[in-house]
Amino acid sequence: MGQNIILGLAIGLFLGSTLVWGLLIFRGLVRVSPGHFLAIQRSNSADPAAGPLGFAHSGRMLVIPLFQSGQLYPSEFPEIKNEALRITHLGNPLLDCSLTLRVKLIRKPEPLTRFVQTLGGLGIEEIVRIVRIIAENGTHQVLASLPVDRSLSAPDQAKARLREHLDEELGSVGLQVGEVSLVVRPVHAQAHRSDDSEFSMDRVLEKSPFGE
């Protein structure tokens, strides 16, 4: 009789704990929605600089309750466009240009960790603002470093230089160039100026994408 009670209690305890863990695991299944990726981190990590344990880009991923936490981050970003970007140096206009840029994540652990640590706490609009500043500053730096006639006569070379420069700058926050379009015009050419932006060498060196 006593053995039956003990056996019943043991079975009940086993079934109860199985049910509890089953519910916890079910709650720990995180669906990665389109346009996002999931970063899994240790819960209550003592090291604030510790990077995520892993990443998922689609489907469902198990985040172990009590031991891990999961956070979704954007993986797709709106197109950045400036059709009237003027390049100047010491107040003298050099070129007018149109810039269109699409960026994408570098889907490797180290760049994804950099993205989480630098941009992960920001909304999509703030991320786009920072990328826009990086892109426009980079366009100025590249075009201002080239002879004007070379930029006009060999726009593909200027575009290649710009892409290389932006990949390096964006890589520091875990991003890279997806597509870039650069149209360079002489200053006297008429341009559609719905969003005029003028850059000078003095201003560009003072402008930080992080508002510092």
Residue range 98-149, pLDDT digits in tens: 999 999 999 999 999 999 999 988 999 999 999 999 999 999 999 999 999 9
User: Distance (Å, rounded) from C-alpha 172 to C-alpha 38?
Assistant: 20
Please check whether residue 94 lies inside any domain of the structure. Answer: yes
**Least-confidence region, from 24-33, 36-45, 108-117:** 24-33
Contact 93, 187 (CB under 8 A): yes
196 & 167 share domain: yes
If you search the block for the tokens 């797709």, which residue do you land on?
A: 76
| 162: nearest Cα among 174, 180, 186, 148 | 180
> Residue 104 in contact with residue 175, Cβ under 8 Å?
yes
Same domain, 60 and 100: no
Counted domains in the chain: 2
Same domain as 85, residue 38: no
pLDDT tens, position by position, 61-75: 777 676 778 888 999
- The pTM of the full predicted model, rounded to 2 decimals, is 0.73
Long-range pairs, 154-159, Cβ under 8 A, ≥24 = 155/182, 155/183, 155/184, 158/182, 158/184
Q: Across-strand partners of 103? A: 177
